[in-house]
Structure formats: structure tokens, C-alpha cells
Amino acid sequence: MSGNSAHNMSLKLKIWRQKNSKDEGKMVDYTLDGVSPDMSFLEMMDTLNTKLVKEQGDSIAFDHDCREGICGMCSMMINGQAHGPEALTTTCQLHMRKFKNGDTIVIEPWRAKAFPVVKDLMVNRGAFDEIMAAGGYVNVNTGNAVDANAILIGQENAELAMDAAACIGCGACVASCKNASAMLFVSAKISQLALLPQGQVEAESRAIAMVEKMDELGFGNCTNEAECEAQCPKGIKLENIARMNRAVTKGLFSGR
């Protein structure tokens, strides 16, 4: 993992340290030598934590799980960009070859009212779970399994639903938006059901319930500046927000 030492880098790191949600927190400077370009960003953080523990320091808390770009846990602002400088890439899939020897890297947590800091780079994204819960269940007969081709779904809608379902709920959209809007996330979760026959029974009422919960939890509104789409590691499209808005409007006018 260390690679050829002749090509290893020395980095200056400015990392947000915060003991808990009530602590004011501050940026702390670190220097880390021997960083291989082949390391992932999280492996670099692991190396720093090993160094801190050996020096009797307090290791830096950060979220991670699968380290395969699937779970959405690795939420870091890197030099002002959610998940760092590489498009369509999560922090755990970002490699240190994107940086140069001697670089200064600023690492911060997501910053949003609805995502309070737990410690250091970890935030509580339970608000996303509350929004999902507000969407309720799909009202379909769950009796005997039907044949796979019994419910006809057009290819275009099937692909759009799969594209929306690619959202991993990481929160990069919220962190990138000046309003801390969660509309890209919410609209993706609405779209992945609304585009399919199974999700259309409650499509409007689900959209209204999820948007109301989003507003209640303190997320901001969308002003169509598209930072969310630009920083989304899974390429979720703004057209989902338009689809969500149509569902909400239709539901409000029909009294659902």
C-alpha cells in the first residue's frame, strides 16, 4: 500500500476537530509524510490516525463502512468540495494521486443545520431516515409472488427509476448547496417509486409527506444552481426535482 517511497508525498492537512455537537470546534494543522499516490483518501486518514495514536493523540473520527462507494457514509468536504475533486466519486474511492507532494488539503464535515456534528468529521444524518420514514409504505398486494413480467414497465421509466435508485443518501447534495437543500435526495427517493406502477398509488401523498418532513427538519429550498447535481457521486439528475414538484403540486390540487 505504501508504494515506491521515491514517489510518496508529504502533505499538510487542515482538519476540523470538534469534540461533540456543543463544542465550537476548530481547524487543526497536521503534517503527514510517506503518503502513497495509490492510497485511497480514507487509507491516508487511517495512516494519520495511526500516527496520532502512536503519539498519544486523539484519533480523528470520520464515518466509513463499505469503502466501495456504495454505503454513502464517507462524508467529507475536501478543499471545499463534497467528496473531493474527482467527479462521480465518493471519498472512499478517491485516491491520493489526485494530489501533489506538498499540497495543503482542507478537510471538513458536512455543514448543515439538519446534519449536526457528532465528532470531528462525523455528522448525524438521521434526518434522511426520518424523511424516508415519512414516505410510508408501497400499497401493493404482497401475497403470492407474481411472474417477473406480469407488470409491464416501459424501458425508459425502468431506467429512470434505476438511475434515481442509485442515490446512496450520502448528503453531498445538502453539503454542496448554499441553502442546505435536500431536494435532490428527496426527489430521487420519490422518483424511484413514482416512476414504477407499484409506487403510483400513493405517489402524490408520498411526495407531500416527504417534502413536509424535509421542511420540518430544517433543510433549505432549491434555487436551481445545480451544485447538488455537480457534486453528487452517483450523478443524480435535477430532473428528479422537477418530477417531485409536479407530484406535490398535483397532490395539493387533488387534496391528497
pLDDT in tens, 13-72: 999 999 999 999 999 999 999 999 999 999 999 999 999 999 988 999 999 999 999 999
Measured from the Cβ of residue 185, the count of other Cβ atoms closer than 10 Å reads 30
pTM of the model: 0.92
| One domain for residues 19 and 110 | yes
Looking at residue 96, which CATH number applies to its domain? 3.10.20.30
Least reliable range by pLDDT among 42-46, 125-129, 144-148: 144-148
Q: What pLDDT is recorded for position 5? A: 61
Enter the C-alpha cell of residue 13.
492537512
Looking at residue 157, which CATH number applies to its domain? 1.10.1060.10
Last residue of one domain, picked from the residues 100, 117, 134: 117
pLDDT score of 1 more than 50: no
Residues 6+ apart with CB under 8 A from 67: 40, 42, 74, 92
Query: What does DSSP say about strands 77-78 and 81-82: parallel, antiparallel, or unpaired?
Result: antiparallel
pLDDT digits (tens, 9 = 90+) for 222-250: 999 999 999 999 999 999 999 999 999 99
Measured from the Cβ of residue 173, the count of other Cβ atoms closer than 10 Å reads 29
| One domain for residues 135 and 248 | yes
Range of the domain at 195: 125-254
| One domain for residues 59 and 142 | no
| Residue keyed to cell 406535490 | 248
